[in-house]
Amino acid sequence: MTEPLPRAPSPSRRDFFKKVGAGAAVAATAGCQQALEEFMKKSLREMSRPEVKALLERLEKEYGEKFGREVSVHATPPREGVLFGYGLDLSRCNGNRKCVTACVKENNQSRPNPDGDHNNPIQWIRVLEMEKDKGISFEHADPYYNPKEVPEEGKFYVPVQCQQCENPPCVKVCPVGATWAERDGIVVIDYNWCIGCRCCMSACPYGARHFNWSDPYLPADELNPNTHVLGNRPRPRGVVEKCTFCIQRTRAGRYPACLEACPTGARKFGNLLDPKSEIRRLLEEKRVFVLKEELNTKPKFFYFYG
Amino acid sequence: MRLDRAFLRFTTGSARIVLSGSGYYYAWVGLLLLLVSLGVVAYTRQIENGLIVTALRDEVSWGFYIGNFTFLVGVAAAAVVLVIPAYIYHWKPIKEIVILGELLAVAVLAMCMLFVLVDVGRPDRLTHILPIVGSLNVPHSLLAWDVLVLNIYFLLNLGVVTYLLVSLFRGRTPNPYIFTPLVFFSIPMAVTIHSVTAFVYNGLPGRPFWNASLLAPKFLASAFCSGPAIMLILLQILRKTARLDIKMEAIWKIAELMAYAMFLNLFFLVAEVFKEVYSDTHHLQHMKYLYLGLDGKTALVGWAWTSVAASIAAFFLFLIPATRRNLVTLNLGCVLIFLGVYIEKSIGLVVPGFTPSVLGEIYQYDPTMNEFLVGLGIFGVGALLFTMMSRVAINVANGNFRLDAEAPRADVDVPA
């Protein structure tokens, strides 16, 4: 067993009038300056190549200073003829949550913060424990299971992460177009353009989107310095984030971190457009299903019993 | 006198009216300023720490702020729709009712915008929703549409009311060919803002509590209860303090119309409850959480039944002629309607939509003191705006504040 899912921390009730006067002045000045900078900015989708290059350099410099380490930020584009798909074998998954731990590390997610007032742990993968006699029923799912050993008697496990929908409800509701599906099927977020209205979180039927309610807590020695601008680069406060099929790895021809970490071999990944790929063989040979099919979201994340 | 100079005189004169008044007026404004400063302090704390100071979390990602926004859009819409019966029944003074309705709409819309502002994670990036400068995602995003129609409605009302007041201030009769079409245009716009706000929720297939086609009609029906409830109380106050000649018949008629709106609202509620209970799918969970609680989690149950009880009681008070003509029961009815619709459209709408969450989790959302104080501050801003604007408007309407007069006399008290 690794890393059970922490419950949503209760809100802080710290002394209300603390540091208020000074804070207001600083916030006002910084606010004006920031607003002016924001006014001049473009979303990543509207940027020319040199502008993207300049952004990457700026981000690398900013992260380098913040974490005291060298950080690389890439913008590797989708490859022609590639459409990513994921397969998950429910008969193999035993709920060990190694995928969750690997994902948190690989993707620089906010860790539990010892300062409880700012505790904002984020996990992109949520493993649900379900009862065998109830079948797949979210009503009877428990994401906080924490026994000595998994699997538990009479239970089975359903990991849920971004389903990379072909018809993503989250994308169309975004009022500023800060999230979109790339040509290789990965739904991404421009962390520099998101205004944090959380419409996408209301729209997502899979609970895949997570919000930075506080400054993310990421100790420098736990930082993964190999990042993608639309993926695992350190995020600011006040924006939404989610699984990107490990865009920084998969666009470089590697497997997602969750797949590599899975000790049971329940996780499969590949190119849906390649007839010889493992994922295509699974789709043809196994009985696959998607979550909440009736919503017509057309996920590219397929579940099957192996 | 030229228009720009007249406008300058109007502005300085308005400032003078707003700054002078009786002891009661100063006490009222002082109280509102206190609320506003509490809100500013609380919002500063939120800016420093992030939305972590709210009780919102990934499972319930909208709450008190967006609930208040939704409720207030309804109030802003309904305030202007009162213009219709005013014209149909030839209520005197129509001019004043139109002006007050539009002023209320302006003040309430300012509150709506503030509630959205405090809810977003990155207020520094709000320029991203501007057309051209930013990248407003129309026609896809309903929130983008909502931003558009709310701003149009805000400017429309502000424009009409400014035109009427400045014309009267200059001693001219407002040109009906200019303002009547605009007032009538603002009526479909009022319906539009509330429908589009409903569609923001309505269009989410993953949230069955909102994904019901009755949502927008229900929004409108409840808005035509809560908006007039506020107007009724304001009209009575102004009748006394500003000696506005508002006939009691008009007030009774509004109360009667509210009874019909409340009947529709309750009927829609019954229709929704029937559909969910009888078909008994997993969609019922959300309604169960609201009215009965789930797994012993009953945070909303008391609120939900308070809302139902208040709405039913108010319906009968306004339906029976004797009780709607009695000032005590009339005003009790207004308070009950306000309470009933406020609970139903804010917490009672937003939170059950998220509970249980899409993956079946029940997170009990309970707004923090900080959220509450930010909200209180925004209500303070709204009340302050309305107090000051209506103070100027009434002085203009009474003929006390005129361009040709020596100096404006602020002899009218308008305690919001």
Q: Does A181 touch chain B (CB under 8 A)?
A: no
Residues 6+ apart with CB under 8 A from B293: B299, B300, B301
Contact call for A38 and B41, based on CB within 8 A: no
Average pLDDT of A104-118?
Answer: 95
The interface predicted TM-score of the complex, written ipTM, equals 0.92
pLDDT tens figures, A162-174: 999 999 999 999 9
Distance of CA A301 to the CA centre of its chain: 14
Q: Please determine, for residue B172, whether its predicted confidence score (pLDDT) is greater than 50.
A: yes
- Please list every residue in chain B whose beta carbon sits closer than 8 Å to the beta carbon of residue A194: 121-122, 125
Q: How many angstroms separate the CA atoms of B110 and B154, rounded? A: 8
Residue of B nearest to A32 (CA): B124
Average pLDDT of B151-165?
Answer: 94
Q: A35 or A139: whose pLDDT is higher?
A: A139
- Among A7, A40, A199, A240, most B C-beta atoms within 10 A, so best to mutate, is A199
pLDDT-derived band at A177 (thresholds 50, 70, 90) equals: very high
pLDDT of amino acid A35: 57
Contact call for B135 and A19, based on CB within 8 A: no
A38-42, A72-76, A118-122, B337-341: least confident range: A38-42
- Please list every residue in chain B whose beta carbon sits closer than 8 Å to the beta carbon of residue A141: 359-361
Q: How many angstroms separate the CA atoms of B101 and B255, rounded? A: 16
Q: Does A166 touch chain B (CB under 8 A)?
A: no
pLDDT-derived band at B413 (thresholds 50, 70, 90) equals: very low
Contact call for B206 and A212, based on CB within 8 A: no
Amino acid at B290: L
A62 to chain B, minimum CA–CA distance in Å?
A: 19
- Please list every residue in chain B whose beta carbon sits closer than 8 Å to the beta carbon of residue A9: 57
pLDDT of amino acid B415: 44
- Please list every residue in chain B whose beta carbon sits closer than 8 Å to the beta carbon of residue A215: 50
pLDDT of amino acid A33: 62
Predicted TM-score (pTM) of this structure: 0.93
User: In chain A, which among 223-242 make CB contacts under 8 A with chain B?
Assistant: 236-240
Q: Please determine, for residue A23, whether its predicted confidence score (pLDDT) is greater than 50.
A: yes
pLDDT tens figures, B176-186: 898 889 988 99
- Please list every residue in chain B whose beta carbon sits closer than 8 Å to the beta carbon of residue A196: 51, 120-122, 125
First to last CA, chain B: 32
Question: Which one, of A289, A285, A266, A265, lies nearest residue A277 by Cα?
Answer: A285
Say what percent of chain B tops pLDDT 70: 97
A218-222, B77-81, B356-360, B372-376: least confident range: B77-81
Question: Which one, of B153, B229, B154, B160, lies nearest residue B191 by Cα?
Answer: B153
Length of chain A: 306
pLDDT tens figures, B45-72: 999 999 999 999 999 999 999 999 999 9
Strands across the sheet containing A267-271 = A267-271, A84-89, A301-304, A288-289
In this structure, are strands A301-304 and A288-289 parallel, antiparallel, or unpaired? antiparallel
- Please list every residue in chain A whose beta carbon sits closer than 8 Å to the beta carbon of residue B53: 11-12
Could you give the dihedral angle defined by the CA atoms of residues B200, B203, B204 and B210, in that order, rounded to the nearest 10 degrees?
80
Contact call for A126 and B359, based on CB within 8 A: yes
Q: What is the mean pLDDT of chain B?
A: 92
A105-114, A157-166, B89-98: least confident range: B89-98
Average pLDDT of B386-410?
Answer: 81
- Among A195, A201, A209, A237, most B C-beta atoms within 10 A, so best to mutate, is A195
pLDDT-derived band at A14 (thresholds 50, 70, 90) equals: very low
In SS3 terms, chain A reads as CCCCCCCCCCCCCCCCCCCHHHHHHHHHHHHHHHHHHHHHCCCHHHCCHHHHHHHHHHHHHHHHHHHCCCCEEECCCCCCCCCEEEEEECCCCCCCCHHHHHHHHHCCCCCCCCCHHHCCCCCCCEEEEEECCCCCCHHHCECCCCCCCCCCCCEEEEEECCCCCCCCHHHHHCCCCCEEECCCCCEEECCCCCCCCCHHHHHCCCCCCEECCCCCCCCHHHCCCEEECCCCCCCCCCCEECCCCCHHHHCCCCCCHHHHHCCCCCEEEEECCCCCCHHHHHHHHCCEECCCHHHCCCCCEEEECC
First to last CA, chain A: 23
In SS3 terms, B356-372 reads as CCCCCCCCCCCCCHHHH
Average pLDDT of B314-337?
Answer: 96
Which of B50, B58, B201 has the CB atom closest to A8's CB atom? B58
Q: How many angstroms separate the CA atoms of B266 and B269, rounded? A: 5
Average pLDDT of A53-80?
Answer: 96
A14 to chain B, minimum CA–CA distance in Å?
A: 9
Q: Please determine, for residue A260, whether its predicted confidence score (pLDDT) is greater than 60.
A: yes
Dmax over Cα atoms in chain A, in whole Å?
66
pLDDT of amino acid B369: 98
pLDDT-derived band at A31 (thresholds 50, 70, 90) equals: low
Q: Please determine, for residue A277, whether its predicted confidence score (pLDDT) is greater than 60.
A: yes
Q: Does A126 touch chain B (CB under 8 A)?
A: yes
Phi-psi region of B360 (alpha: psi -120 to 50; beta: other; left: phi over 0): left
Q: Please determine, for residue A13, whether its predicted confidence score (pLDDT) is greater than 70.
A: no
pLDDT of amino acid A74: 97
pLDDT of amino acid B240: 82
Q: Does A4 touch chain B (CB under 8 A)?
A: no
**Tokens at residue B197, please?**
């706000």
